[in-house]
Amino acid sequence: MLSPDASQEVSSALIRVEGLRCGYPGHEVLKGVSFEVQPGELVGILGPNGSGKTTLLLTLTGVVPLQEGEVSILGSPLERLNAKDRARRMAAVAQESQIRFPYSCLEIVRMGRYPHQKRWQMDSLEDERVVRRCVEIMDIQELSHRLISATSGGERQRVVMGRALAQEAPVLLLDEATSAMDVHRKLQVFRVLDRLNREEGLTVLTVLHDVNLAALFCRRMIFLKEGAVVADGPTEEVLTAEILERVYETRVWVQDVPMTGKRQVVFLP
Protein backbone atom coordinates (compact mmCIF):
# COMPACT_ATOMS: atom_id res chain seq x y z
CA MET A 1 0.00 0.00 0.00
CA LEU A 2 2.99 2.32 -0.46
CA SER A 3 2.17 5.46 -2.40
CA PRO A 4 4.51 6.57 -5.20
CA ASP A 5 5.47 9.73 -3.30
CA ALA A 6 6.32 7.84 -0.14
CA SER A 7 8.28 5.05 -1.81
CA GLN A 8 10.72 7.54 -3.34
CA GLU A 9 11.86 8.81 0.05
CA VAL A 10 14.84 7.16 1.69
CA SER A 11 14.86 6.77 5.45
CA SER A 12 16.20 4.14 7.81
CA ALA A 13 12.98 4.38 9.85
CA LEU A 14 9.47 5.30 8.85
CA ILE A 15 8.88 6.86 12.26
CA ARG A 16 11.58 8.20 14.57
CA VAL A 17 10.72 9.58 18.00
CA GLU A 18 13.53 10.94 20.13
CA GLY A 19 13.28 12.49 23.59
CA LEU A 20 9.60 13.35 23.08
CA ARG A 21 8.03 15.46 25.79
CA CYS A 22 4.51 16.76 25.29
CA GLY A 23 1.09 17.06 26.85
CA TYR A 24 -1.53 19.64 27.66
CA PRO A 25 -1.49 23.00 29.46
CA GLY A 26 -0.32 22.37 32.99
CA HIS A 27 0.01 18.62 32.46
CA GLU A 28 2.98 16.89 30.86
CA VAL A 29 1.99 13.43 29.59
CA LEU A 30 4.96 12.00 27.68
CA LYS A 31 8.29 12.33 29.43
CA GLY A 32 11.23 11.66 27.16
CA VAL A 33 9.83 8.89 24.95
CA SER A 34 12.15 7.49 22.25
CA PHE A 35 11.67 4.70 19.71
CA GLU A 36 11.82 3.95 15.99
CA VAL A 37 9.43 2.06 13.72
CA GLN A 38 10.99 0.34 10.74
CA PRO A 39 9.21 -0.36 7.43
CA GLY A 40 6.94 -3.40 7.60
CA GLU A 41 6.55 -3.56 11.37
CA LEU A 42 3.28 -4.26 13.17
CA VAL A 43 3.70 -2.64 16.58
CA GLY A 44 1.34 -2.60 19.54
CA ILE A 45 1.35 0.31 22.00
CA LEU A 46 0.03 -0.85 25.35
CA GLY A 47 -0.24 0.35 28.92
CA PRO A 48 -2.74 1.36 31.61
CA ASN A 49 -5.12 4.29 31.36
CA GLY A 50 -3.32 7.62 31.50
CA SER A 51 0.02 6.22 30.36
CA GLY A 52 0.15 8.43 27.25
CA LYS A 53 -0.86 6.05 24.45
CA THR A 54 -3.46 8.29 22.82
CA THR A 55 -1.35 11.40 23.38
CA LEU A 56 1.50 9.69 21.55
CA LEU A 57 -0.64 9.04 18.48
CA LEU A 58 -2.09 12.56 18.60
CA THR A 59 1.46 13.90 18.62
CA LEU A 60 2.46 11.74 15.67
CA THR A 61 -0.47 13.11 13.68
CA GLY A 62 0.35 16.71 14.60
CA VAL A 63 -2.67 17.34 16.83
CA VAL A 64 -0.68 17.69 20.06
CA PRO A 65 2.43 19.88 19.65
CA LEU A 66 5.88 18.84 20.77
CA GLN A 67 7.33 20.57 23.83
CA GLU A 68 10.74 18.94 23.52
CA GLY A 69 12.34 16.27 21.36
CA GLU A 70 12.05 15.29 17.73
CA VAL A 71 9.58 13.36 15.59
CA SER A 72 10.28 12.52 11.97
CA ILE A 73 8.08 10.71 9.46
CA LEU A 74 9.81 9.11 6.45
CA GLY A 75 12.87 11.22 7.20
CA SER A 76 11.02 14.55 7.35
CA PRO A 77 10.58 16.48 10.63
CA LEU A 78 6.92 16.42 11.61
CA GLU A 79 6.73 20.18 12.09
CA ARG A 80 7.75 20.76 8.45
CA LEU A 81 4.90 18.69 7.04
CA ASN A 82 1.58 20.30 6.18
CA ALA A 83 -1.69 18.43 6.65
CA LYS A 84 -1.71 17.01 3.13
CA ASP A 85 1.91 15.83 3.38
CA ARG A 86 1.13 14.09 6.68
CA ALA A 87 -1.94 12.44 5.15
CA ARG A 88 0.18 11.02 2.32
CA ARG A 89 2.54 9.48 4.86
CA MET A 90 0.19 8.41 7.65
CA ALA A 91 -3.45 7.43 7.92
CA ALA A 92 -5.07 7.45 11.36
CA VAL A 93 -8.19 5.96 12.91
CA ALA A 94 -9.33 7.15 16.34
CA GLN A 95 -11.27 5.13 18.90
CA GLU A 96 -14.45 7.04 18.14
CA SER A 97 -15.07 8.80 14.84
CA GLN A 98 -17.25 11.89 15.08
CA ILE A 99 -18.86 12.42 11.65
CA ARG A 100 -21.68 14.92 12.02
CA PHE A 101 -22.86 15.20 8.42
CA PRO A 102 -25.05 12.49 6.79
CA TYR A 103 -22.61 11.26 4.18
CA SER A 104 -23.02 7.79 2.76
CA CYS A 105 -20.48 5.21 3.87
CA LEU A 106 -19.12 5.06 0.31
CA GLU A 107 -18.59 8.84 0.34
CA ILE A 108 -16.67 8.49 3.60
CA VAL A 109 -14.30 5.93 2.05
CA ARG A 110 -13.85 8.19 -1.01
CA MET A 111 -12.62 10.96 1.31
CA GLY A 112 -9.44 8.91 1.78
CA ARG A 113 -8.41 9.88 -1.75
CA TYR A 114 -8.32 13.64 -1.04
CA PRO A 115 -4.58 13.76 -0.18
CA HIS A 116 -3.82 12.52 -3.70
CA GLN A 117 -6.10 14.95 -5.53
CA LYS A 118 -5.74 18.54 -6.63
CA ARG A 119 -8.32 21.12 -5.63
CA TRP A 120 -11.72 20.50 -7.29
CA GLN A 121 -10.38 17.39 -9.03
CA MET A 122 -12.98 14.71 -9.79
CA ASP A 123 -12.37 11.12 -8.79
CA SER A 124 -10.21 9.32 -11.32
CA LEU A 125 -10.53 5.71 -12.43
CA GLU A 126 -7.63 4.92 -10.11
CA ASP A 127 -9.42 6.59 -7.21
CA GLU A 128 -12.51 4.48 -7.89
CA ARG A 129 -10.43 1.31 -8.10
CA VAL A 130 -8.78 2.00 -4.76
CA VAL A 131 -12.11 2.85 -3.12
CA ARG A 132 -13.76 -0.35 -4.39
CA ARG A 133 -10.83 -2.39 -3.15
CA CYS A 134 -10.95 -0.83 0.32
CA VAL A 135 -14.71 -1.40 0.53
CA GLU A 136 -14.12 -5.08 -0.24
CA ILE A 137 -11.14 -5.37 2.11
CA MET A 138 -13.17 -4.02 5.04
CA ASP A 139 -16.25 -6.06 4.05
CA ILE A 140 -18.55 -3.03 4.00
CA GLN A 141 -20.26 -3.55 0.64
CA GLU A 142 -23.67 -3.78 2.31
CA LEU A 143 -23.04 -0.48 4.10
CA SER A 144 -21.93 1.47 1.02
CA HIS A 145 -25.16 3.34 0.38
CA ARG A 146 -26.25 3.60 3.99
CA LEU A 147 -25.79 6.94 5.76
CA ILE A 148 -22.88 6.89 8.20
CA SER A 149 -25.29 8.26 10.82
CA ALA A 150 -27.36 5.07 10.46
CA THR A 151 -24.54 2.67 11.36
CA SER A 152 -23.51 1.12 14.66
CA GLY A 153 -20.25 2.09 16.34
CA GLY A 154 -18.46 -1.01 15.06
CA GLU A 155 -19.78 -0.57 11.52
CA ARG A 156 -18.74 3.09 11.54
CA GLN A 157 -15.22 2.14 12.56
CA ARG A 158 -14.92 -0.30 9.67
CA VAL A 159 -16.01 2.43 7.26
CA VAL A 160 -13.51 4.90 8.72
CA MET A 161 -10.80 2.25 8.50
CA GLY A 162 -11.71 1.81 4.84
CA ARG A 163 -11.20 5.56 4.41
CA ALA A 164 -7.80 5.32 6.08
CA LEU A 165 -6.71 2.48 3.81
CA ALA A 166 -7.89 4.46 0.78
CA GLN A 167 -5.22 7.06 1.61
CA GLU A 168 -2.64 4.44 0.58
CA ALA A 169 -0.23 5.85 3.14
CA PRO A 170 2.72 3.65 4.12
CA VAL A 171 1.89 4.01 7.84
CA LEU A 172 -1.41 3.26 9.55
CA LEU A 173 -1.99 4.59 13.08
CA LEU A 174 -4.83 3.03 15.09
CA ASP A 175 -6.06 4.22 18.48
CA GLU A 176 -8.25 1.46 19.91
CA ALA A 177 -9.88 1.42 16.49
CA THR A 178 -11.64 -1.94 17.02
CA SER A 179 -12.88 -1.37 20.57
CA ALA A 180 -16.52 -0.99 19.42
CA MET A 181 -16.43 -4.22 17.40
CA ASP A 182 -17.47 -7.71 18.46
CA VAL A 183 -14.90 -10.49 18.69
CA HIS A 184 -15.57 -11.78 15.17
CA ARG A 185 -15.08 -8.34 13.59
CA LYS A 186 -11.99 -7.56 15.68
CA LEU A 187 -10.30 -10.73 14.50
CA GLN A 188 -11.44 -10.16 10.93
CA VAL A 189 -10.00 -6.63 10.87
CA PHE A 190 -6.70 -7.67 12.38
CA ARG A 191 -6.38 -10.58 9.96
CA VAL A 192 -6.78 -8.02 7.15
CA LEU A 193 -4.15 -5.76 8.71
CA ASP A 194 -1.81 -8.70 9.21
CA ARG A 195 -2.18 -9.67 5.53
CA LEU A 196 -1.60 -6.10 4.30
CA ASN A 197 1.40 -5.87 6.60
CA ARG A 198 2.99 -9.11 5.46
CA GLU A 199 2.10 -9.01 1.76
CA GLU A 200 2.10 -5.29 0.93
CA GLY A 201 4.44 -3.82 3.51
CA LEU A 202 1.86 -1.69 5.33
CA THR A 203 3.41 -0.50 8.59
CA VAL A 204 0.96 -0.51 11.49
CA LEU A 205 1.24 1.20 14.87
CA THR A 206 -1.78 0.35 17.01
CA VAL A 207 -2.83 1.38 20.51
CA LEU A 208 -4.60 -1.49 22.28
CA HIS A 209 -5.96 -2.26 25.73
CA ASP A 210 -6.56 -5.90 24.80
CA VAL A 211 -3.21 -7.54 25.56
CA ASN A 212 -4.27 -10.90 24.13
CA LEU A 213 -5.45 -9.40 20.84
CA ALA A 214 -2.13 -7.59 20.57
CA ALA A 215 -0.27 -10.81 21.31
CA LEU A 216 -2.03 -12.59 18.45
CA PHE A 217 -1.01 -10.09 15.77
CA CYS A 218 1.66 -7.62 16.94
CA ARG A 219 5.19 -8.84 16.46
CA ARG A 220 6.54 -6.01 18.61
CA MET A 221 5.14 -4.38 21.73
CA ILE A 222 5.91 -1.06 23.37
CA PHE A 223 4.62 -0.72 26.95
CA LEU A 224 4.05 2.76 28.34
CA LYS A 225 3.48 3.69 31.96
CA GLU A 226 3.23 7.19 33.43
CA GLY A 227 4.46 8.73 30.18
CA ALA A 228 7.61 6.63 29.80
CA VAL A 229 8.60 3.47 27.90
CA VAL A 230 8.78 0.53 30.31
CA ALA A 231 9.51 -2.18 27.74
CA ASP A 232 10.03 -2.33 23.98
CA GLY A 233 10.84 -5.41 21.96
CA PRO A 234 9.64 -8.55 20.18
CA THR A 235 6.37 -9.80 21.63
CA GLU A 236 7.82 -13.10 22.80
CA GLU A 237 10.50 -11.23 24.78
CA VAL A 238 8.45 -8.47 26.45
CA LEU A 239 5.17 -10.30 27.06
CA THR A 240 6.28 -11.74 30.38
CA ALA A 241 4.72 -11.90 33.83
CA GLU A 242 7.46 -9.68 35.25
CA ILE A 243 6.89 -6.87 32.76
CA LEU A 244 3.09 -7.12 32.78
CA GLU A 245 2.91 -7.02 36.58
CA ARG A 246 5.17 -3.96 36.61
CA VAL A 247 3.07 -2.20 33.98
CA TYR A 248 -0.42 -3.10 35.19
CA GLU A 249 0.27 -3.69 38.90
CA THR A 250 -1.78 -6.88 38.72
CA ARG A 251 -0.83 -10.53 39.08
CA VAL A 252 -0.83 -12.39 35.77
CA TRP A 253 -0.47 -15.86 34.36
CA VAL A 254 1.30 -16.04 31.00
CA GLN A 255 1.03 -19.16 28.87
CA ASP A 256 1.93 -20.29 25.36
CA VAL A 257 -1.07 -21.64 23.47
CA PRO A 258 -0.07 -24.54 21.17
CA MET A 259 -3.19 -24.16 19.00
CA THR A 260 -2.23 -20.62 17.95
CA GLY A 261 1.50 -20.67 18.57
CA LYS A 262 1.02 -17.38 20.41
CA ARG A 263 1.40 -16.29 24.01
CA GLN A 264 -1.72 -15.33 25.97
CA VAL A 265 -2.30 -13.69 29.34
CA VAL A 266 -4.75 -14.25 32.19
CA PHE A 267 -5.04 -11.38 34.70
CA LEU A 268 -5.63 -12.83 38.16
CA PRO A 269 -8.01 -11.27 40.71
Each residue of 124-179: pLDDT tens digit? Answer: 899 999 999 999 999 999 999 999 999 999 999 999 999 999 999 999 999 999 99
Q: What's residue 194's pLDDT?
A: 97
Band of pLDDT at residue 4, cut at 50, 70 and 90: very low
Q: Which residue, 208, 148, 204, 222, is CA-closest to 177?
A: 208
In angstroms, what CA-CA distances link 146 with 150, 152, 179, 184? 7, 11, 22, 22
* 214 has pLDDT over 50: yes
8 A C-beta contact, residue 60 and residue 53: no
What pTM, to 2 d.p., does this model score? 0.91
**Interaxial angle between packed helices 153-166 and 183-200, expressed in degrees from 0 to 180 and rounded to the nearest 10:** 10
- The count of domains in the chain is 1
The DSSP output letter for 170 is S
68 within 8 A of 62, measured Cβ to Cβ: no
* Angle value at C-alpha 199, between 193 and 201, nearest 5 degrees: 75
247 inside domain: yes
Q: What is the mean pLDDT of residues 225-233?
A: 98
pLDDT at 31: 96
Q: Give dist(CA 180, CA 240) in Å, integer.
A: 27
Domain extent at residue 193: 10-267
In a domain, residue 207? The reply is: yes
Q: Which residues contact 193 (CB under 8 A, 6 or more apart)?
A: 42, 172, 202, 204, 206, 217
For the chain, the average pLDDT equals: 93
Is the predicted pLDDT of residue 233 greater than 50, yes or no?
yes
> Is residue 4 a part of any domain in this protein?
no
Report the CATH number that the domain containing residue 88 is assigned in CATH. 3.40.50.300
Mean pLDDT throughout 110-136? 89
> Looking at residue 3, what is its pLDDT?
45
Q: How much is the CA Rg of the chain, to the nearest whole Å?
A: 19
pLDDT at 102: 87
Q: Which of 205, 204, 206, 214 is nearest to 244 (CA)?
A: 214
Asked if residue 5 belongs to a domain, the reply is no
**What's the pLDDT at 9?**
42
Q: CA 228, CA 76: separation in Å to the nearest integer? A: 24
Task: Over range 223-237, report the average pLDDT.
Answer: 97
pLDDT at 1: 47
Q: Give the tens place of pLDDT for each residue, 5-61.
A: 443 444 479 999 999 999 999 999 999 999 999 999 999 999 999 999 999 999 999
DSSP state of 114: G
